[in-house]
Amino acid sequence: MQKLINGEWVEATQEGVVEGDVYRIPVGNGGWQQQTYTTPAVKVVRIISTGAMQRRFTIPEEVFITSDAAATVIKSRLMNSDYCDLDFQDTIDGITYICGVLFAGGIIPDSPVRATELLVDGTDIESI
């Protein structure tokens, strides 16, 4: 199994466990050294590219957004920004409004659920 030890991925076996998160790691010439396993930090992506935000909308959603002047302005502001901060209140309010328009037009079945889907954590690919 691979473990992250002191910032480097190394081979570690269950047989190499010394105690808890301390492993004996093989080193050159048949030797070994004790190292402590550290759990890698999980990166939460809350700022994504504007292209990533645009790809979260379906084509029918994008087309319908243009039927509402305010939704069109909101989406334009989102797409013309340098990035999309998923925690920024204007972003949350704008997505909530757009989802309300989409729901009222029968494009989506549930406005709050779709807003949550659009504001979900980004992926590494979506990050800027």
Q: Where are the domains of the chain?
A: 2-36, 47-118
Task: Reply yes or no on whether the pLDDT at 88 is more than 90.
Answer: yes
C-alpha 117, offset from chain centre: 11
pLDDT digit string, tens, across residues 8-58: 666 666 555 556 667 666 677 767 677 666 666 778 999 999 999 999 999
The mean per-residue pLDDT over the stretch 63-67 comes to 97
Task: Reply yes or no on whether the pLDDT at 100 is more than 60.
Answer: yes
Give pLDDT, residue 42.
78
Task: Reply yes or no on whether the pLDDT at 80 is more than 60.
Answer: yes
* Encoded tokens for 86: 């998923």
- Across-strand partners of 32? 26
Give pLDDT, residue 20.
62
Residues 64, 15: Cα–Cα separation, whole Å: 60
Mean pLDDT taken over the chain = 87
Residues 37, 50: Cα–Cα separation, whole Å: 37
Q: Which of 106, 101, 94 is nearest to 118 (CA)?
A: 94
With 0.85 as the threshold, say if the pTM is over it: no
Give pLDDT, residue 17.
54
Whether 53 contacts 88, CB under 8 Å? no
DSSP code, position 121: P
